[in-house]
Chain A
Amino acid sequence: DAKTTQPTSMDCAEGRAANLPCNHSTISGNEYVYWYRQIHSQGPQYIIHGLKNNETNEMASLIITEDRKSSTLILPHATLRDTAVYYCIVRVEGNTPLVFGKGTRLSVIA
């Protein structure tokens, strides 16, 4: 079973920041937080991951709380192309399988 809890759906206005929350209250010290997204019927796309520090790349920022029990994925300027299902995954270090939950369906609205 997935070890994360995410809202089922969210809306975001185009051009605004999209903040997607994830709860992982049972996360262990050697578990990373990964984010993927899946645009309709395509393969999941890797976005970002982190252990305890905040991370940023060209796609998004990942903010992890100090107690590591929750995190937020931030898409700074959402576009219509960011409409997708976003998955937050807690994963032990190493090449362990990804356990997907139901994710958050983000709709970016013009």
Chain B
Amino acid sequence: KAGVTQTPRYLIKTRGQQVTLSCSPISGHRSVSWYQQTPGQGLQFLFEYFSETQRNKGNFPGRFSGRQFSNSRSEMNVSTLELGDSALYLCASSLVTGGSRATDTQYFGPGTRLTVL
């Protein structure tokens, strides 16, 4: 079974621009979570989508947004980019059937490395 895929893998943008990152979950997984990793703050939770609805949200400004499509694929968008948004953006998917604790395990993709100049 294919793992979580993220595109693009690398991205360079300039301040003030916006960016859209894409995540395709493991087949059959219905929840997608996004995380940001920086050297200073470590791995931090951005938001989680399930059935096209945002279920959980981390402590990030409104410039960070996301959405999920009916096929469970997800995108996240960052508007008005700042230098501090340079990071590795990670997507994780989970099955979520509610029947077993094992179904909530999150599996991560390889990440998108965003550099803001």
Interface residues of A (CB under 8 A from B): 32, 34, 36, 41-46, 49, 51, 87, 93-102
Contacts and interface: CB of A to CB of B under 8 A. Distances in A.
B111 interface: yes
B104 A41 contact: no
Nearest to B31: A95
A27 to B, nearest CB: 15
Nearest to B107: A46
Nearest to A102: B42
B43 A43 contact: no
- Determine the interface band of chain B, counting residues with CB < 8 A from chain A: 20 to 34
18 contacts: A32-B101, A34-B105, A42-B110, A43-B90, A43-B109, A43-B110, A43-B111, A45-B108, A46-B106, A49-B101, A93-B101, A93-B104, A95-B33, A95-B50, A95-B55, A97-B48, A97-B58, A98-B43
A45 B90 CA distance: 12
A110 B101 CA distance: 38
A98 B101 contact: no
Contacts of B55: 95
A95 B96 contact: yes
Contacts of A44: 43, 90, 92, 108
A97 B60 CA distance: 14
A95 to B, nearest CB: 5
Nearest to A32: B101
B3 to A, nearest CB: 9
A99 B109 CA distance: 17
